[in-house]
Amino acid sequence: MNVRVASVQMDVEFNNPSANIARIVEHVHNLARRSVKLAVFPECALTGYCVSTLEEAQSICIGLDKLAPVREAAKQTGMVVVVGFAEEGCYNTAALFDTDKEPEFYRKTHLPELGYDKFVKTGDALNVFETSAGRIGILICFDVRHPEAARTLGIKGADIIAIPTNWPTGADISADNLCIARAVENKVFVITANRIGTENGYAFIGKSKLVAPNGQIMDEARGNEAKVLIADFDLELARIKRNVTVPGKHETTILESRRPELYGEIVVPKLAKHA
């Protein structure tokens, strides 16, 4: 199954969801004309992110009803759209719209002590969504620092991990390296969609990427300019969890070679202190 995908690296207007939604809807229609089936937009792309108090965090949150224009654009174009926003009730959320299906939502499960995330509730699920563009798992920004999250999505059968982000100055390791590592570790496609510009004293680094299961960068933004990345994903490459270098002589498996009986410490709620 071949799927044309896009990562939209864009600036965001703080606390102006109407303007951000209008821009995203325009992107969706433009991408549909380029035969794109799946489009991923940045973290909190509808609302902005950089707040310093609980009151400010609550002020930028929006209800799910506000997303209706994006849902309608996905329906009109037959596209799958993943977009981040500050959700009413204080969650850092990514919505997934798939043509005329009911929307799905992922709420960020790993939180840094930064901006909006200092005030939000944690999500409690790592799901893989069956869509018309393949099996999609979603992580948000800091989630990628935790290899267990991506591995869980890989085990659950994700073809693609979509990662809306707000990587600021200093997060280059995630943009340059960790997204590639997560693709290779799980033999899945990875889409990162970072934002650009500045917001309330924070600057964002861009560096969005489309990464193949072998770690190949299929398209990328090298800096923090507005850019649309596009590539064609052959999802079958994410469904064969075996690497064959020399047939019958040099082969490795991604999931079968795991040793879960040795990994107990990674699911202990509180790590023991070692002398």
The rounded distance, in Å, linking the Cα atoms of 97 and 89 is 21
Other CB atoms closer than 10 Å to residue 92's CB: what's the count? 32
**Local structure of 104: helix, strand or coil:** strand
Query: Please, what is the Cα angle at 227 between 223 and 232, to 5 degrees?
Result: 110
Other CB atoms closer than 10 Å to residue 242's CB: what's the count? 12
Positive or negative: CA dihedral 124, 127, 133, 139: positive
* Residues involved in catalysis: 43, 108, 141
CB within 8 A of 117, min separation 6: which ones?
92, 108, 111, 142
The rounded distance, in Å, linking the Cα atoms of 197 and 208 is 14
E-state strands within the chain: 2-9, 38-40, 80-87, 91-98, 104-107, 128-131, 134-138, 160-164, 189-193, 198-199, 202-203, 209-211, 217-220, 227-234, 242-246, 250-253
CB 80 within 8 A of CB 145: no
Positive or negative: CA dihedral 126, 131, 136, 139: negative
The rounded distance, in Å, linking the Cα atoms of 193 and 227 is 10
